[in-house]
Each structure stands twice: as structure tokens, then as C-alpha cells.
Amino acid sequence: MTPARRDLATTLAALAALLGWDASGADLAVTRLFASASGFALRDSMWTATLLHDGGRLAAWALLLTLVVVALRAPRNPTQAAPGRAERWRWLGVMLLCVLAVPLLKRYSATSCPWDLAEFGGKALYVSHWALGQRDGGPGHCFPSGHAVAAFAFFGLYFQWRDHDIRRARLWLAVVLGAGLLFGVAQLARGAHYPSHTLWSAWICWALSAAAAAGFRHRGLRSR
């Protein structure tokens, strides 16, 4: 199986699993494990709010800045062992696209955050994010998870490295997945997002990165 077909299969399988999660209605059930009628006890915790939310965002910007510096200093021509300058800049562009795409979707979302629900001390009613345009009585603008993108936007590092150093690529993939899920659990515990909000952010970033990889590969084959 070619890399493009494998990426497509992975993307479609993840989409099917994600749609299954949405259909199960498990979002609210899982969220209730972290909340009570008075709200979310970990909403302003040092671990969730300061370390994993604020600290995670700063770490993401620091990594992005580091990648920019590395790209500026990279050799122009790629080698078997490492990507060249142009390739690094292309993938930085893809990562930036992920950073912009999810918040843009979030901006037009009518879905409110869990901490806005009436049963957790707010005023909104639970409405699925699939009920497009249907207001839930809250402020909205909570789907998908913008904070999770601080990790999942870096899926591009896996695709950037896999044709050069598959072990490094897999390491980046593990780090990105682990950080993204950790950020997602922190936001879930705070009441900032449902599990699906994090999972959809992951899928969007993966799908954009996989599509970019296919496009770059096709362009390379044509140029040869």
C-alpha cells in the first residue's frame, strides 16, 4: 500500500470511529464524571488551567519558533537523512493552516462549552454540535477544541520526517498524540470541552496534514 493510500485509509477509519463516538452520545456521560451541579472542581486548578492550558500554549509557540529558526538554518537541498529548507517551510505552512483552521470553525460554532450547561451551574442546554445553527442558550463558539491544536497542529512533523527518518517521525507522532490527548483531558476536567471537541480537532489537523502530504508527493512525482 502506498503512503497516500495508507494515509487515506487511516483518515477514513478515524472519521468512522469519530462519527461512532458522536452517535453514542458518550460526550455528556464522560463530562459528568468531572462535574457536579456547582460546576467543575478543576476549572481553575494549577495543573489544568495554569500548567496544561497556559503552559501548553506557550510550549507550542516556543516549538513553532524553534522550527522557524531550524528552517532558516537548514540546508537548501534535502538529503535521505533530513528534509531541506523548502520542505521544512512547506510543513510549517501546513502547521500554521491547522492553527488557523480550527479556531475559524470554532468562531462560527453555536455549541457552548460544558461549563455553560445548566446542569453544571450555567444556563445552556446540551445540544449536539451536529445540530447546525441551533442555539443552546449559551454563548457558543466552543467546537472544536482550539487548545488541542497546540499539539495536533504538529502532526506535520510526522509527515515531514517519515520519508527521511521513520523512527524520528514515529517519535514525533507519539509526542503529538500524547500531548494532544493530555491537553484534551485537561480541558475536559476544566469543563472547557467535551471529548469529541478534542477528537475532532485531532482529525481535522491529521486530515489537513495527510492531504498536504499527498499534494506534495504528487507535485514531486510530476516534477521528476
**pLDDT in the model for residue 222:** 40
Strand partners, 124: 117
Cis peptide before 114 (omega within 30 of 0): no
Look up the pTM and report it.
Answer: 0.95
Q: Tell me whether residue 25 is exposed, middle or buried, using C-beta atoms within 10 angstroms of its C-beta: 0 to 12, 13 to 18, 19 or more.
A: exposed
Residue 207 has what pLDDT? 98
pLDDT-flagged residues of the chain (< 70): 221-224
* pLDDT for the residue numbered 43: 97
For residue 195, the model assigns a pLDDT of: 98
